[in-house]
Chain A
Amino acid sequence: MSLTVGTIYMVAVKEILPESIKHSSNAYSLLVAIISFFLIGAYLLYL
């Protein structure tokens, strides 16, 4: 399971986030990513 943490983290940071920044601005991508980060956090913690 810790193996998954490493690989998924790399997919998100090296593949998906740079694609997002390429299609829009740094600040906008970061803001949207942070909002969705906390939304999924709320879902996983409270549901």
Chain B
Amino acid sequence: MGHVWFIGFIATFFGVGIGGVLSHVINGFKKSLGTVYAVCAGLILGLISFGIAPEAIELGNWIVLSSGFIVGVFLFRFIHAMLEIRLHKRPDLKSGLLLTVIITFHNFPIGIILGTNVESDLSRSLLQTLILHNIPEGMVLFTLLFITGFRLYPYFYCLLLLRYQLLLGQSSEKCLARKTPFYGHS
């Protein structure tokens, strides 16, 4: 169990960290706020289209994706309304915080996948994949956070949030495996 937590931590720390450094370098060259926002929007839409959506279809099907999408839209409206009340003076911070909360939801199934495969020989390649997978997420998150003018604190704050969901996913997988003895062999 300790091993799997360590892999998750390393993957999140380096993946998101490299993404943050890359976005810092890019922002250093491009000071235009419109450009940074446009790059961020393109990166997010690309991440969904080429990364998350095909993965979701592979795990479920089109119907699951469509119903999840609709629930996600309502979830967005709910979180947006909540943040509107809390952060009405900081609209720039709202987008970054919203995105961090949503990416933590995304890390939950990744935790389950990591928990399932960590005892196999795949753990090293899984670690590499997770680091590469976390780089664009880090770039997206930090592009928005740099715009707000934040530096070091949000990095640790985001890491904590991201790690929390990853750990939750891994723990859920362990509980599931304990309740169903043949779960790991199917």
- Chain A interface residues toward B at CB < 8 A: 1-17, 19-24, 28-41, 43-45, 47
| Chain A at the B interface: SS class | helix
B23-53, CB under 8 A of A: which get 1 and which 0?
Answer: 0000000001111011111111111111111
Interface Cβ pair total, 8 Å cutoff: 171
Number of residues of chain B lying within 8 A (CB) of chain A:
52
Question: Is B98 on the interface with A (CB-CB < 8 A)?
Answer: yes
What are the residues of chain B within 8 A of A6 when measuring CB–CB? 68-73, 75-76
**Residues on A with beta carbons closer than 8 Å to the beta carbon of B136:** 40, 43-44
Query: Measuring CB to CB, which residues of chain B are less than 8 angstroms from any residue of chain A?
Result: 32-35, 37-53, 55-56, 59-60, 64-73, 75-77, 79-80, 94-95, 98-99, 102-103, 105-106, 109, 132, 136, 144
Partner of B46, one of A1, A15, A21, A44: A44
Contacts of A12 in B (CB 8 A): 40-41, 44-45, 48
- Contacts A2-B65, A41-B49 given; indicate if A8 touches B44 (C-beta within 8 A): yes
